[in-house]
Amino acid sequence: MGAGVGGFIDIMFLASGVYLIYTAVMAKKKGSISGNVMLAKNKNENDIKDRAGFISYMYKRVLTAGIMIVIAGIIHMVNDYFIYSKTLTWIGIGVILAAIAIYTAAYLQGQKRYMRIQGNKKK
């Protein structure tokens, strides 16, 4: 097994997990909200009702999803290059799916709780 497309996909998962972690840390540390991770395409930072609450809510969940994806990427890389276990492959897939579920739920709830409804900017 080993390299090839599977290895490239593992690296992409690892990189995306690192990016999620970086995004969460920058939001918490500097208050910068990454539009491509935390906001819908049709939203911007001015649509956030409670910026501090939004960052606090999203930080924990995006950080958790990022860490889980990094762990899954490492599991897959080690498995692909050294161990070759189908069980580890499925564990990694399960971790990635759980991370995606956490991220998606946080993203949707964050938009619902902390975003102004279009056309209602003054509230």
Q: Is residue 69 part of a domain?
A: yes
Q: Is residue 18 part of a domain?
A: yes
In the prediction, which pLDDT does 3 show? 56
pTM of this structure: 0.87
Domain, as residue range, for 50? 5-114
CB 45 within 8 A of CB 51: yes
In the prediction, which pLDDT does 123 show? 45
Q: Is residue 122 part of a domain?
A: no
Q: Is residue 119 part of a domain?
A: no
Q: Which residues contact 64 (CB under 8 A, 6 or more apart)?
A: 99, 102
Q: Is residue 98 part of a domain?
A: yes
99, pLDDT greater than 50: yes
Local confidence band at 24 (pLDDT 50, 70, 90 cut-offs): very high
Report helix, strand or coil for 115: strand
Paired strand residues for 115:
48
Count of domains in the chain?
Answer: 1
Q: Which amino acid is at 51?
A: R
Q: Is residue 121 part of a domain?
A: no
In the prediction, which pLDDT does 11 show? 92
Q: Is residue 89 part of a domain?
A: yes
CB atoms within 10 A of CB 80: 20
Q: Is residue 72 part of a domain?
A: yes
